[in-house]
Structure 1
């Protein structure tokens, strides 16, 4: 972008940057300590499951059973490796997100204007800040152009302050916001030495609030851990009373404690969230906090801007209405002499270096239609930024001969209000504006003024303006927007359009885009004038909110939240900041979004495409559903392990220690990857985006879902205990009985992981959703089972006997019956739903 920066501003050289960095460091509030692999390893070794394993292996060493101790060591390495792999994947995913979330700053170095990560700003750098930017260091202004700044983050005063290099206060401060114009400042303090750094260290100690889902999972794991401790004590005492063998009793207790502890759940949660955020990042959706993925799936209302989100943001100038000739001109007639003044002042009322699509178009039309280009001869020397309700803006230019151009443009109503026209003339123009609006055109009014001297009025509305005419832009809806909106409606999500445009244009575009609207549009002033109760009713039934300003946007978002909605708010400007911050999910636009909007938002869509938000919502729903499947699988498979370890002991059966720590840890090694790696990779179910959103306050697992998992676990337990008793009844010895029980549990585990892929669709329907990881791990587990059963040194170590094909078939059949009954339950459930 051309910033029109004076040539004498060269900036630092690379050598000067290095020297400055050695002396003052990086622009960070504190040194970021990167977690090393050693830190990760220590954290993993603190996990309860690892501590239990280490205890068991030490006991085996003490009693001289070195074979068991060696297996435990292998198990410790295996569990650590799985945890390390998961943690490392999560860490890498979060680091990638951090890199993308790092804001960029514009600096002059070696006489070139470049963008650098904000933490790389060095003392002595020349930083450029412009409208909508967050200032990221303290410094002194060396050049400015109609620059004003909001310092409320430091002073508490909300009004903006105009500053330049000659002002009494010519300083800028980190954390403040550029409201208008442009400034170049020389950096004097960075990081902890800035004003905000000195007063804001306490902010670094504030921990991010944990989400309701995290809290529920944490409480569930704590509850299971307490139950595990109680059962551990009970088994130790009961076993010691019966056998008076302290070591055997302690091993029995530790075996049961390992079977109760659901340490896979927190690992699964962290993995799902971090990898979910990382996968979305690859889709062009940058998420600031991985926990926001969970909230995405609960969105009930999307509040979206119109321009650039629903429309293409192409802004083609279709018509010009010239007031003097009282004529509407088509595109092909724009070179008509009667339009010279209107086109001239429409261009002058735009930014000299335009970035808004409408202003870019006005500059192009000026180039194509005017005989001489006066833009180099005139300098912008005073401006009034876009403000007011409805808004307008005014620019004052002057050439070397002190000839002036005072040009204004804005919402037609704003321009009509300040123009010297009779009410009859104003009504006539309002009708033209309405006709344009009903065709979906974006309409701006253009006016000119004359003013001698430099004692300019405080407000632009105090100038005396001459009305020149109207510009009618057409910004067509995006080609695929109807389909995108239909996906949103199918998912049970409402759409609200919140725009600064007028009601007629918004209605026309909404109709063309396929937005469902059965209520009249409401404008911003009506929103702020409504009582709290009225606003809640209004925000519920209204779809189109027009002529909106920051306070009105914020009130609508808060009213929707008060009704229990989960609100996603899309915004791109400085004025969207409060509403983006207030929404459950603030969504900023990556292309047209200001730095303020991006820093206020929880999520950034890199290509400004509403379809990406739908992708995010689908990912949120998939991840939440998969976490539930993983947890339900863990509950269901833990129950038979717990009861198979404890019941033979408590009931005094012939083989009380049917499972030892060796068997339980093998099962743990199977279950860990299944729930945290395999289920994370599970695709979305085909009707997930046709269901209404879940209520955010819902308990993670309600009693009905919990009971389903408990019953699944109890039925598998019944099958395993039947196999146990059947084997004993046939007169089999302990190794054979153990082989029967162990094989049944392994088969049940594999079949359960397949059945629980969906709690609605049949297992055959689920096979259509390919999950190669699930197939791979299932095959690997079967291979390991056959190695345990039929490779002599291994079977001896696991204390199992090889089974015949018939015996193995019986264990598989028992497992199938104890798991596949759930398929009949799902079928009946589907039939009842159809009725």
Structure 2
């Protein structure tokens, strides 16, 4: 019977009045993105502090135009920071909007899905198994309803509640572990028990990811080095020149050149935009650490039903106790025994079914019966699904007092409780084996006539009624999806509540590797930790699994140094989803509890999206590494061309001022945080082994390559510097040529750094318009500084002939393009 026949709920006018009186159903907390937080982040950036210090020194020394320029640079850097922060914030804001929790209510006699924020006092909320209660209320009707109230009480065991019990109240944030209930909402938002807990919900400590910690440590170490060098250079120059102000400016220039402030910005931007791109592909990332972990996944554990298969259950076979099998898919009528089997199986299902198998039983009963008896019986007792393997029992009575006891569940459990002889049980198992080997999911059905109902359903005196077999076809793309996982070096394991024969048959059909290597849940739980470590390595199918067994598998795989991804959709999957490195909930059939426990949600329940996610994770990591290697390589010549003339007493010691360094920083920032992020996945990436999660972001070899690239560019700059001095060029002329060479080298280095394997001729054809815009803007800036007199004078440049610019280009090309020979050697080894 539909709930809307009993409950009508609020009218739209009543909803509006309640919302005006009570507001939205949200917990107040910290503002999402206040201006002061952006401002605080900007003014505490080391580069901004150095710029403000240099501007103040210019102002004190009377160089007002230079001070104004640097203050302008501060504003420009601030604007760039706000834009980059805004891109990251907007990406995460949109992710938050799309993951807005929803709930089901009855309004004006109609069930409807609404955002939980729109729930108001007086609403009739329908809470089903797997969902989280959205607000406080009292139970109006309950059916086998139990809650996990640990968020309120700290106790994790289920608490049974109904409309007649002493405790009819339910609270926001509690999880429905079984059954269904209609709840009248009494309190929302901060008025709920959860809202009154208050401050403890606001003080969430966000743990930094391993990569983020490595990046922060690298930047911190560079800042320490910069501080030490700053003090040394300032002391040496002050000792040599006796000028406090000039020495301080030279030291500040060097300190600015050392700080790699682009790296943390690039990290945040890559992760935020990566999560946004994944969302556009139907993959909602809830935690930033998941983006990192995706590229490292070595094993993915999947359910069979709804992941490997289509989750479109249809009743296929009815097997009677005498071995007679009826094909329910082709039959037009049923024999009396087959009809009775179907009726008992249907009554053993929930009256308002939400499980696909129970829906199939109700549909088949409606199709085959001419005398629907569902409205004649009232449920008086329910034994919930329990046991390992599980079964469930419903007890009904009609108006005349006739009792009907219907049981269904795993064949092992029903047979154990039945009164069949050993030989008869063996015959049933033979039929069961034959059906399971064809890929059918099989349940056993029984009935009882007990006058006195026992506490435990296993104590019922069961009459075995037969088997009902369902068919859930595999997804058409599953063979291809599995091949893509295998090609990427990712193992796939099936963890299912179904029996091993059914799972093996479906697995074999889709080309699953290791379909003949299976272990059951009870056998697995008897293993020691050492035996389990071997079992999870050697077996590919884990059947008849329950929550404790699933969790043990995940922890054992992690102990084997695997990076584990796990899919799930039910309440029982939540512990394992939370334990996995990458918990993956299904967006359509997943329960709210599963989605809450997971770190990633597949909107369309399509496992192929995980191939996309792993590819995206590898691409993000690879592109971030390219960006950081580029930053290191380009910082080396900036540091050395400032440091060497100062330390070695060259003819023009102050070749660059803070203004030159900040312009170079403004060029490099967008290049690394925007341009590299948009580069596509390189073709060899998804055929390589996953990256070990504990691996350092940089190997010493990779760091050496970046240092060599930087040293080569430095050599080119030193050549231009020394040749200019030898030819008697002025300091302004020399500065112009050195700066031009460095900017041109930066443009070429950007293209060369886009791949560590493929040539520059290949990467320039990558589809990434942003990098073209950034490089064009860089060339435009260089042209303006060289050609426009007023700008040239600000930078202390002089006009130079085209032949000298071409000479700078030749030196820049020679100092960068040598790396193409290294890439050619790598391609030869592929």
Q: What is the 5 A alignment of 1:132-151?
A: 132-151=130-149
2:532 aligned partner? 535
2:219 aligned partner? 221
The CA deviation at 1:152 is: 4.1
Alignment of 1:351 onto 2:350: yes
2:771 aligned partner? 774
1:373 aligned partner? 372
Alignment of 1:580 onto 2:577: yes
Query: In structure 1, what is the Cα distance between the partners aligned to 2:318 and 2:10?
Result: 48
| Higher mean C-alpha deviation, range 503-512 or range 126-135 | 126-135
The CA deviation at 1:4 is: 1.7
Q: How has the CA–CA distance of structure 1 residues 511 and 486 changed in structure 2, closer, same or farther, with 3 Å as cutoff?
A: same
Query: In structure 2, what is the Cα distance between the partners aligned to 1:149 and 1:787?
Result: 69
The CA deviation at 1:596 is: 0.9
Q: What is the 5 A alignment of 1:50-69?
A: 50-69=48-67
| Higher mean C-alpha deviation, range 559-568 or range 516-525 | 516-525
Given the alignment, which residue of 644, 648, 652 partners 2:649?
A: 652
1:569 aligned partner? 566
The CA deviation at 1:412 is: 1.6
1:732 aligned partner? 729
Query: In structure 2, what is the Cα distance between the partners aligned to 1:518 and 1:466?
Result: 35
Q: How has the CA–CA distance of structure 1 residues 84 and 164 changed in structure 2, closer, same or farther, with 3 Å as cutoff?
A: same
Deviation digits for residues 216-268 of structure 1, max 9, x if unmatched? 11111100111111111122122222222222212111111111111111111
Listed as ranges, the gaps of 5+ residues in structure 2 are none
Deviation digits for residues 763-801 of structure 1, max 9, x if unmatched? 223234221111111122112211211222211221112
Given the alignment, which residue of 502, 505, 510 partners 2:507?
A: 510
Query: In structure 2, what is the Cα distance between the partners aligned to 1:329 and 1:184?
Result: 38
- TM norm structure 1: 0.96
Q: Is contact 2:5–2:109 with CA below 8 Å preserved after alignment?
A: no
Listed as ranges, the gaps of 5+ residues in structure 1 are none
| Higher mean C-alpha deviation, range 367-376 or range 630-639 | 367-376
Q: Is contact 1:276–1:290 with CA below 8 Å preserved after alignment?
A: no
1:322 aligned partner? 320
Q: Secondary structure at the match of 1:318?
A: strand
The CA deviation at 1:40 is: 1.9
Q: Secondary structure at the match of 2:777?
A: helix
Deviation digits for residues 643-667 of structure 1, max 9, x if unmatched? 1111111111111111111211110
The CA deviation at 1:380 is: 3.0
1:721 aligned partner? 718
Given the alignment, which residue of 123, 126, 129 partners 1:125?
A: 123
Q: Secondary structure at the match of 1:181?
A: strand
Query: In structure 1, what is the Cα distance between the partners aligned to 2:105 and 2:328?
Result: 44
Q: What is the 5 A alignment of 1:694-773?
A: 694-773=691-770
1:99 aligned partner? 97
Deviation digits for residues 570-605 of structure 1, max 9, x if unmatched? 000111011111111111111111111111111111
Given the alignment, which residue of 492, 498, 503 partners 1:501?
A: 498
Query: In structure 2, what is the Cα distance between the partners aligned to 1:195 and 1:38?
Result: 31
Given the alignment, which residue of 788, 795, 799 partners 1:798?
A: 795
Given the alignment, which residue of 268, 271, 278 partners 1:280?
A: 278
Query: In structure 1, what is the Cα distance between the partners aligned to 2:366 and 2:105?
Result: 31
Q: Secondary structure at the match of 2:306?
A: coil
The CA deviation at 1:802 is: 2.3
Q: Secondary structure at the match of 1:650?
A: helix
| Higher mean C-alpha deviation, range 544-553 or range 287-296 | 287-296
- TM norm structure 2: 0.96
Q: Is contact 2:302–2:493 with CA below 8 Å preserved after alignment?
A: yes
Q: Secondary structure at the match of 2:330?
A: helix
Alignment of 1:466 onto 2:463: yes
1:108 aligned partner? 106
The CA deviation at 1:19 is: 5.3
The CA deviation at 1:403 is: 2.6
Q: Is contact 1:146–1:381 with CA below 8 Å preserved after alignment?
A: no
Q: Is contact 2:121–2:187 with CA below 8 Å preserved after alignment?
A: yes
Q: Secondary structure at the match of 1:309?
A: helix
Query: In structure 1, what is the Cα distance between the partners aligned to 2:2 and 2:179?
Result: 11
Q: Is contact 2:29–2:202 with CA below 8 Å preserved after alignment?
A: no
Q: Is contact 1:519–1:541 with CA below 8 Å preserved after alignment?
A: no
Query: In structure 2, what is the Cα distance between the partners aligned to 1:367 and 1:591?
Result: 26
Deviation digits for residues 360-391 of structure 1, max 9, x if unmatched? 22222212211122222223333222221111
Query: In structure 2, what is the Cα distance between the partners aligned to 1:270 and 1:526?
Result: 45
The size of the alignment, in residue pairs, is 829
Q: Is contact 1:324–1:468 with CA below 8 Å preserved after alignment?
A: no
The CA deviation at 1:3 is: 4.8
Alignment of 1:271 onto 2:238: no
Q: What is the 5 A alignment of 1:60-79?
A: 60-79=58-77
Q: Is contact 2:508–2:515 with CA below 8 Å preserved after alignment?
A: no
Q: What is the 5 A alignment of 1:38-57?
A: 39-57=37-55
Q: How has the CA–CA distance of structure 1 residues 532 and 325 changed in structure 2, closer, same or farther, with 3 Å as cutoff?
A: closer
CA RMSD of aligned residues (A): 2.0
1:303 aligned partner? 301
Q: Is contact 2:507–2:515 with CA below 8 Å preserved after alignment?
A: no
| Higher mean C-alpha deviation, range 822-831 or range 18-27 | 18-27
Deviation digits for residues 660-685 of structure 1, max 9, x if unmatched? 11211110110000011111111111
| Higher mean C-alpha deviation, range 619-628 or range 510-519 | 510-519
| Higher mean C-alpha deviation, range 163-172 or range 187-196 | 187-196
